[in-house]
């Protein structure tokens, strides 16, 4: 799947911003009126107004009642700080790619992204570190905070609530990256930028069913993020659509490095498939299966989710769902500027399209009966 084209108000914004950066519109110069821009871009007035609002939120222009819209005279006045709170950033390839694109997009608008990480903090201290970063950013006067809620840590839900409450009390807008702060099917009031996890997992499991798999089991780690609940929902959707009677015995929560856990879920039967909540879980599960003498994909098939860079470098390349990291990063920056212009917008799910990448780990052996 290809990325969707940017909305027209974004295209108008980008063209005007580029004209300002190139000097076509000089500092202090008046921009064309909204009516003139409507004609120039063949757009509606609300669309043009939204582009102008974004430029104003970024500090590129000044809107003067009764006079018009003018390019700001000093570049320094346009720079704003934004904070990133991404627990475990240094260990998460997908998040690194998303944040790198966010940094590029912010820089393009002459803003600065402050990187915060809790990689070195063990267990529940990850949540404390996220709270500490939120307080620090608010004290620095950031214009907004991008937050990937804490996962895999005791007390993660309380820590996530505290982070957004700190920002709310300071009037600092929050955009969530990849996942919500509450478990599905609940929904917080914050924008969530990522993918449609439920639909993507449904697509993956449907593919496996169509190639002849009948026993497909789901594997995830304890204390996973709400995205895993969405992926599990998509797993159930695909089974029910195929009239395969789902059973809770096919859903497993445990550490894929734990040989006892893997032996327990494997049992005596070999002709089966494991769909994992993410690629890291899948890679670790495959390693443990190989230690136990289980042949992949001859005896057991495995699929992951995220399509991180090492997925195709594993001894048996991993089937996975690819996330559009760069597009997610770009969309997160746009969502933040929307929040700065209209903070009373309801919480939005801003989803980017995924694609299924089929590799050898899920290949069904020829002649194998169901």
CA–CA separation, 143 vs 340, rounded Å? Answer: 8
pLDDT on residue 1 = 41
Long-range Cβ contacts of 307-310 (<8 Å, 24+ apart): 307/279, 307/357, 308/93, 308/94, 308/279, 308/280, 309/93, 310/93, 310/279, 310/283
Q: Chain centroid to CA 305: how far? A: 13
- Angle between helix 325-341 and helix 93-108 axes, rounded to 10 deg: 50
pLDDT on residue 370 = 46
Q: Angle at CA 77, nearest 5°, toward 72 and 82? A: 125
Q: Where would I find the H helices in the chain?
A: 8-22, 34-41, 45-57, 93-108, 125-140, 156-169, 197-210, 226-241, 259-266, 279-291, 325-341
pLDDT on residue 294 = 95
Q: Which of 31, 41, 33 is CA-nearest to residue 9?
A: 41
CA–CA separation, 279 vs 207, rounded Å? Answer: 17
CA–CA separation, 124 vs 152, rounded Å? Answer: 9
pLDDT on residue 153 = 85
CA–CA separation, 79 vs 26, rounded Å? Answer: 17
Q: Contact at 8 Å (CB) between 179 and 148?
A: yes
Q: From edge to edge, which strands make up the β-sheet containing 144-147? A: 112-117, 81-86, 144-147, 174-177, 191-195, 349-352
Dihedral sign (CA 44, 47, 50, 54): negative
Q: Which domains are seen in the chain, by residue range?
A: 8-76 (1.10.10.10), 79-194+345-354 (3.40.50.2300), 197-323+356-362 (3.40.50.2300)
Q: Which of 157, 168, 156 is CA-nearest to residue 124?
A: 156
Average pLDDT of each block of 10 consecutive residues along the chain (370 residues)?
66 87 86 93 91 82 83 63 83 82 82 70 73 93 94 91 97 95 92 97 98 94 92 96 90 97 89 95 97 95 95 96 94 90 85 97 73
pLDDT on residue 340 = 84
pLDDT on residue 117 = 56
pLDDT on residue 353 = 96
């Amino acid at each position: 799947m290809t990325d969707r084209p940017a909305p027209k108000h974004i295209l108008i914004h980008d063209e005007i911003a580029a004209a300002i950066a190139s000097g076509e519109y000089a500092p202090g110069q008046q921009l064309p009126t909204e009516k003139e821009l409507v004609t120039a871009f063949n757009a509606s007035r609300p669309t043009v107004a939204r582009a102008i609002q974004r430029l104003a939120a970024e500090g590129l222009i000044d809107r003067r009642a009764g006079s018009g819209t003018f390019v700001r005279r000093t570049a320094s006045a346009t720079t704003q700080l934004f904070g990133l709170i991404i627990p475990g950033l240094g260990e998460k390839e997908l998040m690194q790619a998303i944040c790198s694109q966010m940094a590029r997009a912010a820089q393009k608008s002459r803003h600065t992204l402050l990187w915060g990480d809790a990689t070195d903090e063990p267990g529940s201290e990850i949540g404390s570190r996220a709270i500490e970063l939120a307080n620090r950013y608010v004290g620095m006067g950031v214009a907004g905070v991008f937050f990937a809620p804490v996962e895999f840590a005791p007390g993660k839900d309380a820590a996530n609530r505290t982070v957004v409450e700190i920002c709310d009390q300071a009037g600092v807008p929050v955009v969530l990256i990849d996942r919500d702060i509450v478990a599905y099917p609940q929904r917080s009031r914050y924008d969530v930028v990522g993918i449609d996890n439920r639909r993507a997992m449904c697509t993956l499991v449907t593919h496996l069913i169509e190639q002849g798999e009948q026993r497909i089991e789901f594997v995830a780690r304890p204390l996973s993020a709400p995205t895993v609940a969405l992926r599990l929902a998509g797993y159930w959707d695909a089974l029910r659509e195929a009239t395969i009677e789902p059973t809770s015995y096919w859903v497993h929560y445990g550490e894929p490095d734990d040989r006892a856990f893997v032996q327990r879920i494997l049992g005596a039967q070999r002709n089966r498939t494991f769909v994992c909540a993410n690629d890291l879980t899948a890679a670790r599960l495959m390693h443990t299966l190989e230690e136990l003498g289980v042949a992949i994909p001859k005896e057991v098939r495995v699929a992951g989710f995220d399509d991180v860079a090492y997925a195709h470098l594993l001894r048996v390349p991993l089937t996975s769902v690819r996330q559009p990291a760069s597009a997610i990063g770009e969309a997160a920056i746009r969502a933040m500027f929307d929040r700065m212009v209209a903070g009373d917008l309801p919480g939005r799910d801003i989803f980017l399209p995924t694609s299924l990448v089929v590799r050898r780990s899920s290949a069904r052996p020829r002649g194998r009966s169901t």
